[in-house]
């Protein structure tokens, strides 16, 4: 295997391992009901979410939703009422189950509201220290990420150290 091929394999692995998990979901809510989603998060995890009313079967009432996000102790982290779209960003202040609940603020018999929800979980945005270092070697510069997004920092740091050591040997020591 050539050095360039090894480089590409390591870069692809590193990028796939460090990309924040982005998920999306479209769900239907009959008018007058609610839907809640829960996620078990570790301390320091960053949450970025956006939501919007994708479709509504009602032409009489406004197509809006209300959203409340709560922490593990029931503390309110986000509240928006009667909106067509919104977003929330927060960093988990402790380990536990975080919950986002959506509901329709108005009732109309038979009406259904579809909500498009997208979220990403990671902690690159608030990692301590520099996010990356640049190593210069025989094959040019490569940016090496020093912090990894996964929620369990202690276990995954050893995996990242192995990857960074491989990259340093490949570029700096060659």
Asked whether residue 7 falls in the same domain as residue 81, the answer is no
Question: What is the Rg, in whole angstroms, of the alpha carbon atoms belonging to the chain?
Answer: 21
The dihedral sign for the CA sequence 94, 95, 96, 97: positive
pLDDT of residue 39: 87
pLDDT of residue 131: 34
Asked whether residue 53 falls in the same domain as residue 113, the answer is yes
pLDDT of residue 142: 41
Asked whether residue 78 falls in the same domain as residue 136, the answer is no
Q: How many domains does the chain have?
A: 2
Tracing tokens 């391992």 back to the chain, one arrives at: 17
Structural domain span for residue 83:
21-122
Q: How far apart are CA 63 and CA 133, in angstroms?
A: 47
Question: Residues 94-107: pLDDT tens digits?
Answer: 899 999 999 988 88
Asked whether residue 42 falls in the same domain as residue 106, the answer is yes
Paired tokens of 31:
């008018």
Asked whether residue 59 falls in the same domain as residue 74, the answer is yes
- Residue 54: give its domain's CATH number: 2.60.120.380
Asked whether the whole model's pTM tops 0.85, one would answer: no
38 pairs with which residues across the strands?
99
Q: Are the C-beta atoms of residues 28 and 114 closer than 8 Å to each other?
A: yes
Length of the chain: 174
Asked whether residue 47 falls in the same domain as residue 61, the answer is yes
Asked whether residue 41 falls in the same domain as residue 12, the answer is no
Question: Residues 31-88: pLDDT tens digits?
Answer: 888 999 888 888 888 888 899 988 777 665 668 889 999 999 999 999 999 999 999 8
pLDDT of residue 81: 93
Mean pLDDT confidence for 23-29: 82
Asked whether residue 51 falls in the same domain as residue 96, the answer is yes
Asked whether residue 104 falls in the same domain as residue 136, the answer is no
From 139, 133, 120, select the one nearest 160 (Cα to Cα).
133
């Amino acid at each position: 295997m050539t050095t360039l091929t090894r480089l590409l394999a390591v870069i692809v692995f590193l990028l796939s391992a460090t990309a924040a998990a982005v998920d999306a979901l479209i769900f239907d809510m009959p008018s007058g009901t609610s839907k809640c989603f829960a996620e078990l998060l570790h301390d320091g995890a960053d949450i970025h979410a956006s939501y919007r009313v994708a479709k509504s079967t009602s032409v009489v009432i406004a197509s809006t939703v209300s959203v409340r996000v709560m922490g593990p102790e029931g503390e309110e982290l986000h509240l928006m009422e009667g909106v067509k779209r919104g977003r929330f960003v927060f960093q988990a202040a402790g380990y536990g189950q975080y919950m986002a609940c959506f509901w329709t603020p108005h009732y109309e018999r038979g009406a259904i509201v579809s909500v498009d929800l997208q979220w990403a979980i990671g902690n690159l945005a608030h990692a301590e220290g520099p996010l990356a270092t640049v190593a210069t070697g025989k094959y040019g510069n490569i940016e090496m990420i020093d912090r990894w997004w996964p929620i369990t920092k202690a276990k995954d740091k050893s995996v990242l150290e192995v990857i960074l050591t491989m990259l340093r040997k490949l570029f700096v020591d060659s």
